[in-house]
Amino acid sequence: MLKTGASLGISQSSIREISEANESQNKSRLEDAINLTVSITVFTSLIGFILSLVLSQYLSVFAFGNTFRTNDFLLLSFAVSLTILWEGQTAILKGIREQTLLAKSNIFGGVLGLIISVPIYLIFKQNGVIPVLIITPLSAYLLSKYFTSKLVSHKINFNVKELYNKGNGMIKMGMALTFTVFLSQLSTFLISSYLSNHGGLKMVGFYNAGTMIMVGYFSVVINALTTDYFPRISAINSDNKKLQSELNQQSIVSLLIVLPLIVLFLFLLPIIIRFLYSKEFYPIIDFVKIGIYGTLISICSNQIDLILVAKNNLKIYTIISIVYRILEFLFTMILYKYFGLTGLGYSLFLMGAIHMALMSIAVKKMYQIQLNPTFLKLSIVAVSFIFSTSLINKINNDTIKYITGCLILLASCYFCLYFSKKYLKVDFVQILKIKSPK
């Protein structure tokens, strides 16, 4: 949270500025946007470093109930600062849509961090945690810095007044995005507190386990889908027709990619829970089965709310976020009261639908941008696949259960391959044939 607050959300808001500048084909404007991003992230990294130093004793008391870990938090000031710097460099690669360099930076940074971290853990055991937390963002920052410097030279401006005047819009957007992240964390905290008071720590554990499985399983896909999407729509944010085309294409792509993963996830859900946790967590199965619909809807609705961010319509974006989080807390309390753990799944499903409705209405009313009938038809079929899969685990005969599950999985894969070729003009089978060794 300290890093999130100190960074001012620049790693997100700067992507919009850089994407716009990159699309304009104006090299001078692009360099100015990149230099502004670098300068502000250097400044915010210093803020993060100083805040971490000043608050280290209080953080130790808050986290552990004593001041014994103050020195550890002092050292973590470097990790906070380096992470902010790394995110700034990553934002540059995202903004200019250098996906190859971005992938190389992330992969090589991860490998380098792993190579350095493993020996430290082996030698120092638990005492190696703090050094690893510092070395990991350091290696990631140095590699991302290397790749961005190959594209454009960086000039850092330490004139605070000039930085604020030039980056005022970027800072305001970043703070708005940071505020929505804070709202999300606050909502999660309030829900956990409510469940703890009315259901005990066991219920909190079930809730966290279920949400972590869903978030963890799909986070990689979601991040991959949005990495290039936001820079694309930011670059064309003034053209509503192009935005609508991008929205529908991205939504269909998201749906077709995620569908087989959800089918496989639901099919293997008991096995996944037993592998990650234990049989004692089987009560979360129904919670996850229902909540997964909300995850599917949210994956698609997130494509819509990013249009508001690309349009820099922070007022509506923030208002919707506030309303959404209030409703999330209220519906979670109500549905848990009447349906227990399963009610938490209903809440996720309902909030996904509400998020989709709020964002769709806002974007349609203000920009005449909406999802097309093709997406809606594909969504109905996708929901049918998911519903069918959720019924499989009720079959008592294991042979019939696994055969049926495999058939539904194969059918969902065929469905996605067919419509990818039909609507997106992407033939994955042909691509695999070309890439396979002869």
Instruction: Provide the residue ranges of all domains of the chain, joining segments of one domain with +.
Output: 2-158, 172-431
pLDDT of residue 430: 53
Other Cβ atoms within 10 Å of 117 Cβ, number: 18
d(CA 232, CA 246): 8
Average pLDDT, the chain: 85
Higher pLDDT, 284 or 226: 284
Please give the share of the chain, as a percent, with pLDDT higher than 90: 26
Q: Residue 438: which pLDDT band, with cuts at 50, 70 and 90?
A: very low
What pTM was computed for the model?
0.82
The first and second tokens of residue 305, run together, are: 């709310």
pLDDT of residue 379: 92
**What mean pLDDT comes out for the span 30-48?**
87
| Cβ within 8 Å of residue 167, ≥6 positions away | 36, 39, 40
With beta carbons less than 8 A apart as the criterion, state whether 263 and 51 touch. no
**What mean pLDDT comes out for the span 221-227?**
76
**Range from 85-94, 183-192, 426-435 carrying the lowest mean pLDDT:** 426-435
With beta carbons less than 8 A apart as the criterion, state whether 341 and 203 touch. yes
Angle between helices 373-390 and 398-423 (to 10 degrees): 170
d(CA 315, CA 322): 11
d(CA 336, CA 330): 10
pLDDT of residue 1: 66
Q: pLDDT at residue 190 above 70?
A: yes
